[in-house]
Amino acid sequence: MRKALPTEEDLHAYLDGELGEDRHAMVEAHLAQHPEDARRLQAYRADGEAIARIFSRADHLPDAAFSPFDSPPAAARTRVGAALWARGTPWQRAAAIALIVLGAAVVAFVTLRRDTSDDALWARFGRDAIVAHLSLSNPASQPIPAA
């Protein structure tokens, strides 16, 4: 009779201390015979302990702290933006505005140009395909026009 192997669910339940007594001995015997699985479970255990340490320190954060995913308070954003803008010279401000306007103009130009050039590109491709087909389908055609 073949011995039953523990499933991944069994191994994780064993690791979490939630495995029933009927399967506990079978998992321990498997881990004794398969050191690679035992090392993998030990690595999982170490990861879980590290995560538990991280979350246990979260209770000790000061009340004023906020998550990096939260946006800073509006007053702080306004002060930072105003400080950055005030730090520049009038020429730097003018150059920044000019670059923004120029960038918007380039994007608009490329967008408008792309719409019309796509149609022209496909029309030229179709014309070239028809010429190549007609040139190659005629047995009397010269190789130079087909190329």
pLDDT of 147 reads 43
pLDDT of 1 reads 47
**15 in any annotated domain:** yes
Domain of residue 51 covers 8-60
pLDDT of 68 reads 56
Is-contact 129 139, C-beta < 8 A? no
pLDDT tens, residue by residue, 118-147: 677 777 888 888 888 777 777 666 655 444
Residue 88, by phi and psi: left (phi above 0), alpha (psi -120 to 50) or beta? beta
Query: pLDDT band at residue 32, thresholds of 50, 70 and 90?
Result: very high
Number of domains forming the structure of the chain: 2
* Span between the terminal Cα atoms of the chain, in Å: 75
Are residues 100 and 139 part of one domain? yes
Are residues 96 and 141 part of one domain? yes
Are residues 101 and 54 part of one domain? no
**73 in any annotated domain:** no
**34 in any annotated domain:** yes
pLDDT tens, residue by residue, 76-123: 555 656 666 677 788 888 888 899 999 999 888 877 776 555 677 777
**25 in any annotated domain:** yes
